[in-house]
């Protein structure tokens, strides 16, 4: 079974592939791709948690007018991400019907998976990068000349080692753990992933009981990476991926923390529960063969008071 360019191995364990195109866009241009306003187009699916990170960071840093945005249909076909939300089913800037066209413009013989987020060079139509682990960090560190006045420092230089240490187990056990549970084809691999997911959530519940955000009083890259999985948890991962020990709404600290972020400008307005649910429940036909998309859960709770302000020093 394949999820974009990711697969399940012979043991029944989900394996997430490394990004094939890992170029960087840098302030000094030494990478061959210089920071240049208006040159690049960010392609996302609002359903994808990895792409969602880019939406949040782009918004928080005020880069909306610097890096343009294309949004793919949440429902993929056999050619993967498509631009059927746009007039004529064509991206209005790149003039392509499928994101895969930009991949092949970069590497004509490429026959691997097509993933989001992706950054495309508008003049050439070539894919620059689909390295979801690096892309948000580069928005924070390489595009500083174009950050809005008062933009947050999401990856402070003096805290990067500590942030990386917090991010690593969150990625392995939670961000990717829910996929390892959902796509496992053996009971053993599913249960191992299930234990990882809830072991990490329990540790985060404890950590966040005494601090407003993961690193203290300020939002950082670590919070963004955690949020995009939390916001999908009850809608998708709890049922669809069988991560059902409890819901996010049943973990008091994490639920309040997630609402705090959701109500912060740059977060809630980038969440699209319709796209999220339609993608997972329709595209993953081996998990949900009927293709029925759940009506719930009720999203109104995301706007209720969170009471986390008292944790700020």
Catalytic positions, written as ranges = 48, 179
Query: Cβ–Cβ contacts within 10 Å for residue 217, how many?
Result: 10
C-beta of residue 203 within 8 angstroms of C-beta of residue 221: no
C-beta of residue 45 within 8 angstroms of C-beta of residue 279: yes
Residues facing 120 on adjacent strands = 41, 127
Q: What is the CA radius of gyration of the chain?
A: 19
Query: In which residue are the tokens 């939002």 written?
Result: 219
Helices 187-207 and 160-170, axial angle in degrees (round to 10): 140
Is residue 81 part of an annotated ligand binding site?
yes
Distance (Å, rounded) from C-alpha 2 to C-alpha 16? 10
Q: Give the C-alpha distances (Å, rounded to integers) separating 120 from 48, 93, 117, 287.
A: 18, 10, 10, 32
Distance (Å, rounded) from C-alpha 103 to C-alpha 164? 29
Which residues have CB under 8 Å from 262's CB, separation 6+? 227, 231, 268, 271, 302, 303
Structure tokens at 254: 């994490």
Annotated binding site: 81
Annotated binding site for glutathione: 81
């Amino acid at each position: 079974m394949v999820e974009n360019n990711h697969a399940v191995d012979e043991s029944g364990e989900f394996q997430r592939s490394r990004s094939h195109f890992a170029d960087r866009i840098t302030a000094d241009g030494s990478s061959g791709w210089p920071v240049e306003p208006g040159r690049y187009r960010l392609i996302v699916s609002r359903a994808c948690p990895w792409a969602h990170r880019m939406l949040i960071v782009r918004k928080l840093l005020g880069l909306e007018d610097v890096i343009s945005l294309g949004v793919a249909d949440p429902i993929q076909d056999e050619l993967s991400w498509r631009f059927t939300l746009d007039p004529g089913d064509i991206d209005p800037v790149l003039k392509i019907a499928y994101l895969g066209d930009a991949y092949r413009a970069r590497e004509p013989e490429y026959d691997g998976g097509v993933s989001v987020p992706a950054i495309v060079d508008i003049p050439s139509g070539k894919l620059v990068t689909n390295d979801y682990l690096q892309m948000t960090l580069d928005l924070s560190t390489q595009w500083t000349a174009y950050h809005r006045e008062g933009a947050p420092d999401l990856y402070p230089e003096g805290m990067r080692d500590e942030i990386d240490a917090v991010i690593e187990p969150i990625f392995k056990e939670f961000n990717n753990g829910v996929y390892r549970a959902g796509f496992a084809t053996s009971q053993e691999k599913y249960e191992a992933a299930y234990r990882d997911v809830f072991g990490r959530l329990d540790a985060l519940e404890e950590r966040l009981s005494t601090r407003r955000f993961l690193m203290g009083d300020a939002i950082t890259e670590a919070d963004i990476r955690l949020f995009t999985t939390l916001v999908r948890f009850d809608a998708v991962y709890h049922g669809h991926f069988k991560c059902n020990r409890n819901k996010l709404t049943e973990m008091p600290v994490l639920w309040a923390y997630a609402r705090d972020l959701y109500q912060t400008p740059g977060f809630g307005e980038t969440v699209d529960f319709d796209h999220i649910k339609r993608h997972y429940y329709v595209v993953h036909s081996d998990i949900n063969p009927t293709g029925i998309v759940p009506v719930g859960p009720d999203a109104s709770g995301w706007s209720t008071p969170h009471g986390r302000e008292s944790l700020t020093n």
